[in-house]
Structures are given as C-alpha cells and as structure tokens.
Chains A and B, each alone.
Chain A
C-alpha cells in the first residue's frame, strides 16, 4: 500500500466518505463527520498508519486534506 493510499484510507474510514470526496474542497468542518471529535479520530488514524506523532500545533494546523499532506511531509512522510 502506498503512502497516498494509507492517507486516503484514514479519511475514508474515519469520515465514512468515498474516494471521490478526497479533493482540495475537503476541509475541516466541510462535512458533518469532520468536526472536532472526528478531527481527533482522523489524527489518531493517520498517526497509527504512519507510526508518527504530530505536535499539538500540527493537529491544530491540519485544516484540510491537502494541508495534511504538507504536515506529513514535515514529519518525514511523503504522500504522493
């Protein structure tokens, strides 16, 4: 499984959404399931998938599907 697939799966499984929903329009609170509680679940799923631990600031900055890729890169994971 590629890093992109792992990344996408975290969103799909956490928010119960479809692959076609994964785009630049997917941002925090743009869908009902991506609320504050869902956000922490997403962070946990991504950390588990890549065996990393975000800084608290990263969790706050993780504002969109695309921004998340940049934050993963900062944590040594290339998603492409």
Chain B
C-alpha cells in the first residue's frame, strides 16, 4: 500500500513529546523524510530509535530554540542542502502558561508570543523561501480552540493562538499564487502532559463540554496533520481544522 507522505521532506517543531511526538510517529508511518526539532539535546533519541525499529524511518534531529532566528536559518539551510526541497512545515512548538488577566506579566506576554507567534512567523518566512522556489508546499500551524473561543485564565495563551489563526489565514492568501498551502489545526482538549498541568478538577469540568465525552489523543491531531501535509488536501488552504470532539466553550 502506498504511503501518502512517501518522500516528502518535513520539518516538525516541538517534536519530543505530546502532539509533536505523535505527529513525528504518524509522519514516519507514512514514509516522510523527517527533520524533528526539539530544544533539549538528546530528547529525541528515544523516538528516533523507536521509529527506526517500528517503521524503518530515518529521522534527523535538529536541536534548537525556535526563537533563535540564526538557528532557524541554519536548520532550514541544512534541510535544503541535504534534500534540495522542503515539502512540509509543521509549527507545533508552543508554550502554555496560565494566568488571570490581572496577573499576566509583561514577561509572560513576551515569552508566550515569542514562541507561539513570532517563531511561527519566522519559520514560515524562511521555509516559504524554499517553497517559493519549488512552487509547492504545505504549512501546518498548531493553534487551539481557545484561540477562537477564548478561555478564562488563559488570556495570553488564547491571544497567541488567536494570532496563529489569523496569521494562518493571511499567509494562505499571500502564498496561494505560489501553490503553498497554509492551514491550522485547532485542537480541543488533548490528553498530553501540557493538559495535565491544568489539574484533574478542571479537566473533569471541561469534559462536560466535549460532546464526544472524552479527551482527544495526540494521535488524533497527528492524523489531521498527515491529511493536511499530504496531497489529499491539495485544494485546502486557509482553513482552521477543529479537532476537538465537538467541544463547546
């Protein structure tokens, strides 16, 4: 059976855990050539070994902080030099720090927007330059349901993900002439360590708002990413795909 990402060169940020890790696995299972980014050295060792054993996938680790522009540039040049193309960028790296509005510090705002928004734009800037030349590409940004609906206690995080939704739509319009598709996945409540940080009580309350009656899994986000990365979504751009179990907030 054909693998739908066979030979596609993909850069995935924030790959060492949670949704990013699941995306790496899903892409590996579909034959992608993966460059996996994480900030912490050696944090990708386990998944690289696991994916090789399970799928024979060769994953190249790229350890850098997505807010370091020079490191981003070096990573893009490395991928281009080794493959002469970049087919897919998944902007998954992100941080979530909860704080009430009156307790949201300027430092928190800067830190959150640096990772969740500015780094996303920087990565799009550099990767799209390669995609321009090949007149093809798919960019997938990981947003959040709170980016469109808002969430009490998450004003900064919500605002940053709202920005991701807006920049996705803007980039899709700007890049359409170059056959570069830009979409976002907007997860609801996904069972990751990031979510567990909000506490069991809050998770239990929020579960009442999910019509499917359960948390989502990272693999279910990854499946959406595979679709958007593949040619099966060749006429889809500028869309925000909710993967949230019909959550209402």
Question: Interface segment, A15-23, A25-33, A48-56, A62-70?
Answer: A48-56
Residues of A within 8 A of B129 (CB): 40, 43-44, 47, 53
Cβ-based interface call for B55 (8 A): no
Bound: A55/B71 CA distance, A = 12
Q: Is the CB of B77 within 8 A of A53?
A: yes
Of the candidates A40, A48, A53, the one whose C-beta lies within 8 Å of that of B73 is A53
Q: Is the CB of A44 within 8 A of B76?
A: no
Q: Is the CB of A56 within 8 A of B133?
A: no
**A residues with CB within 8 A of B:** 40-41, 43-44, 47-48, 51-53, 55-56
Bound: A48/B69 CA distance, A = 20
Q: Is the CB of A51 within 8 A of B81?
A: yes
Given contacts A53-B76, A53-B77, contact A40 B132 (CB under 8 A): yes
Consensus secondary structure, chain A interface: helix
A31 CB, nearest partner CB in chain B, Å: 20
Q: Is the CB of B77 within 8 A of A44?
A: no
Residues of B within 8 A of A47 (CB): 129, 133
Q: Is the CB of A44 within 8 A of B132?
A: yes
- In the complex, which of the residues B69, B125, B126, B129 has the most CB atoms of chain A within 10 Å of its own CB atom? B129
B180 CB, nearest partner CB in chain A, Å: 12
5 A–B contact pairs at CB < 8 A? A44-B133, A53-B73, A53-B129, A55-B69, A56-B125
Residues of A within 8 A of B80 (CB): 51, 53
B207 CB, nearest partner CB in chain A, Å: 44
Residues of B within 8 A of A41 (CB): 132
A-contact 0/1 string along B192-203, CB 8 Å cutoff: 000000000000
Bound: A52/B81 CA distance, A = 10
